[in-house]
Amino acid sequence: MDGNNIEPTGGCPVMHGGNTELGNSVTKWWPRSLNLDILHQHGARTNPMDPDYNHREAVKALDYDAVKADVRALMVDSQSWWPADWGHYGGLMIRLAWHSAGSYRMGDGRGGAGSGNIRFAPLNSWPDNASLDKARRLLWPAKKKYGNALSWADLIILAGNMAYESMGLKTFGFGFGREDIWGPEIDVNWGAENEWLAPSENRYGDLDDTSTLYNPLAAVHMGLIYVNPEGVNGNPDPDRTALHVRETFARMAMNDEETAALTCGGHTVGKAHGGGDHAHIGAEPEGCPVNSQGFGWDNPGMDGKATNAFTSGIEGAWTKHPTQWDMGYFDYLFGYEWELTKSPAGANQWKPVDMPEDEMPVDPTDPSVRRMPMMTDADMAMKVDPIYNEICQKFRADPAYFADTFGRAWFKLTHRDMGPKANYYGPDVPAEDLIWQDPIPKGATSYDVDAVKAKIASCGLSSAEMIATAWDSARTFRGSDKRGGANGARIRLAPQKDWTANEPARLAKVLGILEPIAAETGASVADIIVLAGVVGLEQSIRSAGHDIDVPFTAGRGDASDAQTDADSFDVLEPVACGFRNWQKEKYAVALEELMLDRAQLLGLTAAEMTVLIGGMRVLGTNHGDTKHGVFTKREGQLTNDFFVNLTDMANSWVPVDDGTYEIRDRATGAVKWTATSADLVFGSNSILRAYAEVYGQDDNAEKFVRDFVAAWTKVMNADRFDLVA
């Protein structure tokens, strides 16, 4: 049974040559190995665009008005293969935009609408996204017409905006500029569950304490965007549901007023679909047969009627006029008492008590028939929770205030992961600077960079102090939602200046010396911090015997306290920094895993992560000046000694009691260095060792320095969207 008895007949009764299914990974035998693929998921090998294609330039050339007009027109162009409710696709398109954007979570900035990820698994097949594949098919003619310049990511959100505007809401604004990816975002941890809609207990420390929802998750079940519309674990209890609504929306950076506005405004239009027995609904897009062409959740009984469409199992509209932006949601919610009932599909929902038939919405297919409206448990939470109730009463009394609050919250929801306004394009970009956009004033560029470098070089700071401060300033950047980074110099403001990761005493010393140089020269503090890192690096490079300059581009600005939402920056606090060999406390997740996660957020490749670690160690930039991983006798010089000594078989590697390791001379047993697992992984992981061996070669000492400088500059400029706008 070892396979040697297989006859080479050319037949293929069981096996074939290619490893073509995801479930058969060649590394499945070692599930604890680092998934370095998350660093290489969206590169040139997956992107079908020409190498010289520039999406920002393409977007600038779009006929924005024509695009908007075409998208608006398709809202009322009902198709027989998926008929529109009341002849209007507005509710469906809003749900598509919402669910695309609503996967965002503030904890790590992942999810959201910015990349068009809802096109791919698992999001395209989440139970909560049932039949949203239809919405995208309806949008295909617009995508096909405008081509590369109109990304799916932009089109999906634009469709939501045009839906609202076609139903009477003046939206707050819209920014083009999102760029598509071409495969799933495999870096996103959506939860550990192996089944859809598994009990919520699987992702809470205590289900009755909503703050114990595991970070960075923001949804209560695997496969849902927010909360279970039927109640916690499907058990109706609006008071309890309100607590979970508050927590999940807070994890999307929404306060109570924004949460209430989004809930009420989202349910002012459209309907839920659960009009019959859904036992025969077909498989989701990723699971359906090839002849379905990714057209999932087949409903054999639909018969060309919008009434029979399938989504959640909950059935009914929230308002009397579901294709109009009005105050009907509040009229229903507060104008009637509500009682628990079941949808035709068996889902828990609420119905009004003693509502006259003529106050009910008409059937979405047959206007001669009236249908009972409904509310979900989350809707009832708006009524029973005293905080939400007070907010809703304010909305009800002032329709203009409600519309404005909703419009702003909708804009925030759909643009939260786009980063600063430099990434927004088009005529509808609001002029107003919003604090959640982390605004940064434009910085000076006219100062004499060389003269400033000379002042920094003579200021008395060590190279390690300057390099570490520059790194700490830049490492907060997250490519997921384009927040953080060195621009703005928010490292000098609360809360960053007090983070343990930033060594507050050392940081205060460095800033106390650098800030006067900024004031004297006209450069921003943000530029001075990065430029000090350049000076420190060049000193270390020269002392190692190399003549390589570190690039620098001026123009960073300094944000103020008034431009900084301190609370929203709390989530950017590093709990570990593998690059500076530090973690705040012991975690269930290994330091090297946290390092890999940070590398992905910084947009680094595995090779870039490797070269940065090796350089940072020998530069002596460890947090607290620890010596773990400092495999060199030339600390402070940018050498490849880390890799030379890591790969030297004259050394042995011995664990000690505190979770660290001793590097001993194999012959004598003498301790030469100490290390963490974030150091030794570059020798133990076969992929990382391959990179380490490159940098440990005799002929690559200078290549190592060049590559380090390139990776360093990439991190320092990760948030310089102003340079490519």
Q: Any idea which residues carry the catalytic annotation?
A: 99
Contact 277, 344 (CB under 8 A): yes
Burial label for 142, CB within 10 Å (0-12, 13-18, 19+), is: buried
Whole-number Å distance between alpha carbons of 32 and 41: 19
- Residues constituting the chain: 725
Contact 303, 337 (CB under 8 A): no
Nearest to 701 by CA among 616, 643, 626: 643
Contact 39, 600 (CB under 8 A): yes
Mapped onto helix, strand or coil, the DSSP state of residue 85 is helix
Whole-number Å distance between alpha carbons of 141 and 137: 8
CA 307, 311, 314, 317 torsion-angle sign = negative
Beta-carbon contacts of 651 under 8 Å, excluding residues fewer than 6 positions away, are: 645, 663, 664, 665, 666, 672
Q: Give the residues across from 213 on adjacent strands.
A: 204
Whole-number Å distance between alpha carbons of 304 and 183: 33
Contact 178, 113 (CB under 8 A): yes
Distances (CA, A) of 107 to 248, 412, 566, 658: 11, 16, 14, 29
Query: How many of the other CB atoms lie within 10 Å of CB of 442?
Result: 10
Contact 348, 234 (CB under 8 A): yes
Distances (CA, A) of 109 to 100, 477, 718: 14, 10, 15
Nearest to 469 by CA among 619, 621, 618: 621
Q: Residue 279 is encoded by which pair of tokens?
A: 């036992």
b/e map of 259-288 (b: 16 or more CB within 10 Å)? bbbbbbbbbbbbbbbbbbebeebbebbeeb
Q: Residue 309 is encoded by which pair of tokens?
A: 């469409």
DSSP symbols for 32-79: TS--GGGGSTTSTTT--S-TT--HHHHHHTS-HHHHHHHHHHHTT--B
Contact 524, 495 (CB under 8 A): no
Residue type, 291: N
Q: For residues 9, 14, 19 and 21, what is the CA-based torsion angle, rounded to 10 degrees?
A: 150
Tell me the three-class secondary structure of 251-262, residue by residue.
CCCCCHHHHHHH
CA 413: distance to chain centroid?
A: 12
Q: Residue 250 is encoded by which pair of tokens?
A: 């807070």
Mapped onto helix, strand or coil, the DSSP state of residue 82 is strand
Contact 328, 319 (CB under 8 A): yes
